[in-house]
Structure 1
Amino acid sequence: MATRVIPPRILKNLRYNTATKPLLSSAAHPPLSPALSPPCVPPPSSAVLRPAAAADLNFNDVAKLFSFVPTSKLLRSTAVLHATALEPMVDFGTWLMRSNLMHVDGLRHLILAAIRHSFYDTFCAGEDASTAGKSIRSLNEAGLRGMLVYGVEDALDNDACDRNLRGFLHTVDVCRSLPPSSVSFVIVKITAICPMSLLERISDLLRWQHKDPSFTLSWKQDSLPIFSESSPLYHTLKRPEPLTPQEESDLQLANQRFLELCQKCVQNNIPLLVDAEHTYVQPAIDYFTYSSAILHNKDDNPIVFGTIQTYLKDAKERLLLTTEAAEKMGIPMGFKLVRGAYMSSETKLAQSLGYDSPIHNTIQDTHKCFNDCSSFMLEKIANGPGGVVLATHNVESGKLAAAKAHELGIGKVNHKLEFAQLHGMSEALSFGLSNAGFQVSKYMPFGPVETVMPYLLRRAEENRGMLAASGFDRQLMRKELGRRLKAAVF
């Protein structure tokens, strides 16, 4: 069996304590999380905004920006964003959800009620797919679309995987019942439909095969490149044992689950976007994604999209290799580009093994990587098949991408290009891009509070810098609240 570098129980207990102070100089301060860049600070880039495109993204008219947002929601969002920007609040919320108080019936009810009416209502779409569908209808009336996310992950056995699959399939049914084009993607986490231990084993084997091409994997299907020469391989320090008969049987079941979900999305013409995870299981996730893309992505219509986390040093190289291989095979590929959400745990894992972090050394390097990858993908879709989702909360990255799309002549309302932000985050950027004519989606997790909150709390921990950097949004929200108050009084 492959040597497990860090057991899951240790990984799950890692504390993500990322500083939230602004970057002053790379010499005097340690590198910051990619999420920590204030949205109004321009990332370095060789691209130049064209005046016409810059004028399209108007953040000055707050009345127009927030015209579809009720005052009650503005008040709640402003309060929650302020609270989650405070590191002690995130620490307290995380401690509370993990404490023994959650096992005391009366207190549990009060705690969950408080969370439901604040943090949960701000960042989640509802407790079930039908409620989430109503949230998407409301969002669609405001000119935005939804990326529907059944908020489960980290399945430990086949029974859990089967339950989760039923949830994902039901999500597709709900999307089919909604107004056409109101849902841009159904999101799936491979960690929810394949046991985590098996994903680790597959990743070990794929990494070793990259080290030693003579190492054969009888179960491996056709895929696109998963690694580049700079990809981290330190997770697998010993030659792993082949999959056992039971593991091969479990892999076949996981393949069948993903195939069923992909086929349902193909039948309903709803793109399926595979989320990225920790690097210790990402090779297996990419393997599932790319082998399925080869089967289901046809002509100019990618159904299965992958995710590239651009805070990783090998992100651009892997993107180039994968798209080049897909072109040679005639496979249209779609990618979501994100900065990334696991900085602290990735860095701690690498350091514990005596290796450099796989994350870019500075926030500027991450910004440059995201912007370079965005520019590359925009050029690809302007001249050929494929699609790209630019998932960013950084206003300058949004401006640069909008300007690049304008420069390339990519139509604004274009099925090949989608901008995206988390539900409840970066409302100004979402509505600004939408008002400029671009397609914009909100990433909308749904599920019972008890199911979704651990996921959201991890996101809060891992992205606490992003929440702290939401000052641009909060400033505009306060300005609009002040305008509405003044209008009501006078």
Structure 2
Amino acid sequence: MVTKIFNNTKRAFALKSDKDLKKALFIFKLMNQPALVSVGTKLTKLGLALHLPIEGLIKKTIFEQFCGGITKEDCLPTIRKMHEKNVFSILDYSSEGKDEEAEFDKDLEIKKDLIAFTKENDELPFAVFKPTGIGRFAIWEKVSANEQLSQEEQKEWERIKNRVDKICALAHELDVVILADAEESWMQDAADDLMEEMMAKYNKEKAIVFNTLQCYRWDRLQYIKDLHVRAQNKGFKVGAKLVRGAYMEKENLRASKMNYPTPICEDKEATDVNFNAALYYGIQNLDEISLYIGTHNEVSTYSAMRLMEERGIEKNDPRIWFAQLYGMSDHISYNLALNGYNTVKLVPYGPIREVIPYLIRRAEENTSVAGQTGREYALLMEEKHRREGNFVKRVK
């Protein structure tokens, strides 16, 4: 029987000094105020537009909470400290919003370098890339909509496909699992099709290439079932990264403005049901589907743990990994890892100005997900009180 393990704040925050704990409390207290987050993000964007020297303030607050460093080498001390607690890492160069071919080629080289770096460091079991980091969003969108591409656009699309293939080929050559992020639904069909093509090419023996399923989309359960059937017919393994999703407000707003049915589940309960159903399907078919379970939800995590136990699956089975974002849900990550489950943190890094869009998204997501920021704050306060209680006992 699966026992409750996520209430151990001593384990969860063992790597935080008292000073780190106070800083995290301050940040999550601020993020628990939606109006303040809204004003703060607008001021940050304005500061960037005016080229104001805001990097120092950002670095000492939200950047240090959610990012590992400016370079991948900066991240290594943190990565190694986490690994001492059995928590692995994924390095993610979190630059967003690019639109030029030279920038996409640069991002390709960064991803290839990261794959090689991952191979060299045992603490890093995965590499990751974002489809729109290596090709214009508008092209992904047009291909997803089955729109006719101009001759130049067709050449651009071929370059995008070539970049994706180079990433996956190198991952396969070096035996490094590569995760493709999911993005907005109106560009995702092209990404899904291309990542399935990469799976068919490189996942013959085991899952090297993973695609991401955002389970706040009501069609994702059927998608993984259909993908599984095609994989059986074509003889390849499925790599499925399960997450709830990151673009809900944008998705619903676009659907409303353009008068089409929203692809998003009707409420959080329906999303939870969809996520857990996809999780259950994957664990039922573990011989052919490898799972990366990206969740900050305790109930879903316990469900996966229980299913593994019921089916006699070892805690450290290499086909199942649990994942959380760096700076969040440490009570899940560290307690999972110290109980023998494969656990990994996604660790973003990059120049401060380039990762600000990611940081703004983190702040907005924490504010929009009911209870997320409050839970983080409450757990940090619990650990603060525990330490203060221990200090009183030591003085006595």
The interval holding the TM-score normalised by the smaller chain is over 0.9
Match in the other structure for 2:307:
404
Q: Report the counterpart of residue 244 of structure 2 in structure 1.
A: 339
Give 1:103 deviation, angstroms.
Answer: 5.1
Asked if the contact 1:422–1:443 (Cα under 8 Å) also holds between the matched residues in 2, the reply is yes
Q: 2:375 aligns with which of 443, 449, 472?
A: 472
Residue from 25, 30, 33 that aligns with 1:86? 33
Matched, 1:67 2:14: yes
**1:147 Cα offset (Å):** 1.7
Cross-structure match for 1:23: none
Q: Secondary structure at the match of 1:415?
A: coil
1:227 corresponds to which residue?
Answer: none
After superposing the two structures, state which structure 1 stretch, 304-313 or 436-445, moved more. 436-445
What is the CA distance between 1:388 and its match in structure 2? 0.3
One-letter amino acid of the structure 1 residue matched with residue 232 of structure 2: E
Tell me the residue number matched to 2:188.
282
Q: 1:147 & 1:192 partners in 2: Cα distance?
A: 17
8 A contact 1:146–1:183 mirrored in 2: yes
User: Could you say which residue in structure 2 is the equivalent of 1:368?
Assistant: 273
* 3-state secondary structure, aligned to 1:280: helix
CA contact (8 A) 2:31 2:366 kept: no
Which residue of 2 is the match for residue 380 of structure 1? Answer: 285
**Matched-pair contact (CA < 8 Å) for 2:325–2:346:** yes
1:306 matched residue in structure 2: 211
1:333-371 deviations in whole A, cap 9, x for unaligned?
111111111111111111112222211112111111111
Query: Cα offset for 1:462?
Result: 4.0
Contact 1:154 1:195 in 2 (8 A): no
1:448 aligns with 2:389: no
Q: Matched residue of 2:125: which SS?
A: strand
Instruction: Give the ranges of 4+ consecutive aligned residues of structure 1 lying more than 4 Å apart after TM superposition.
Output: none
Tell me the residue number matched to 1:102.
Answer: 48
1:253 aligned residue (142, 159, 167): 159
From 390, 395, 402, give the equivalent of 2:293: 390
Q: Which residue of 1 aligns with 2:223?
A: 318
Equivalent of 1:159 in 102, 109, 113: 102
Q: Does 1:197 align with 2:138?
A: yes
The alignment partner of 2:296 has SS state of coil
Partners of 2:8 and 2:331 within 8 A in 1: no
> Cα distance, 1:396 vs. partner?
1.0
Conserved? CA contact 2:228–2:289, under 8 Å: no
What's the TM-score, normalizing by structure 1?
0.77
C-alpha displacement of 1:461: 2.1
State the TM-score, normalizing by the size of structure 2.
0.94
Residue aligned with 2:369, SS: helix
Output the CA distance in 2 between the equivalents of 1:289 and 1:153. Answer: 20
Q: CA deviation at 1:463?
A: 4.4
Which secondary structure state, in structure 2, belongs to the residue aligned with residue 138 of structure 1?
helix
Return the offset for 1:255: 1.9
Map of 2:233 onto structure 1: 328
In terms of fraction of residues, the more helix-rich structure is: 2
How far did 1:472 drift?
Answer: 2.9
| Equivalent residue number for residue 360 of structure 2 | 457
Q: CA deviation at 1:422?
A: 0.9
> Matched residue pairs, number?
393
User: 1:197 & 1:355 partners in 2: Cα distance?
Assistant: 20
SS of equivalent residue, structure 1 residue 359: coil
> Equivalent pairs: percent with the same residue?
27
Aligned pair in 2 of structure 1 residues 73, 268: CA closer, same or farther (>3 Å)? farther
Distance of 1:372 and 1:184 partners within structure 2: 26
Distance in structure 1 (CA, Å) of the matches to 2:144 and 2:173: 30
Q: Which residue does 2:64 correspond to in 1?
A: 121
Instruction: Assess, with a 3 A threshold, how the Cα gap between structure 1 residues 328 and 172 changes in structure 2: closer, same or farther.
Output: same
Greater RCO structure (CA 8 Å; 6+ sep): 1
Q: Alpha-carbon deviation of 1:469?
A: 2.1
Encode CA deviations 1:4-48: one digit per residue, 9 max, x unaligned: xxxxxxxxxxxxxxxxxxxxxxxxxxxxxxxxxxxxxxxxxxxxx
User: What CA distance in whole angstroms lies between the structure 1 residues aligned with 2:136 and 2:74?
Assistant: 28
